[in-house]
Amino acid sequence: MGKRTRRNFSADFKAKVVLEALKERNTAEDIASKYEIHPNQLHLWKKEFLSKVANVFASGDSAIKDQKQQDAFVDKLYAQIGQQKVEIDWLKKKLL
């Protein structure tokens, strides 16, 4: 009996399955069997989709603000890494 590998689904596939589930033309079990996934997986994807769908309509200002905060945080981390590199190089030089 061989080891079974985990299947990875693309975002496009997940979106297609969830949109079909939201149409409610078929039961979740029918859709799950059609796409060869477990019904619980379909419910998880649907729940995740519905929780994140509001971000699509978020105002541009808040998205820009979040991006600026993230950029500032990344810049701070790069500065810290640079400072640590200088200190490590200095300590290596002192050891020799």
The tens place of each residue's pLDDT in the chain, 96 residues long, gives 678 888 899 999 999 999 999 999 999 999 999 999 999 999 999 999 998 887 777 666 676 778 888 999 999 999 999 999 999 999 999 988
CATH architecture of 9-55: Orthogonal Bundle (1.10)
Q: Structure pTM?
A: 0.57
Radius of gyration for the chain, computed over Cα atoms and rounded to the nearest angstrom: 24
Domain locations in the chain as residue ranges: 9-55, 58-96
Q: What whole-number distance in Å separates Cα of residue 52 and Cα of residue 14?
A: 14
b/e 36-62 (16+ beta carbons within 10 angstroms → b): ebeeeebeebbeebeeeeeeeeeeeee
Q: What whole-number distance in Å separates Cα of residue 24 and Cα of residue 40?
A: 16
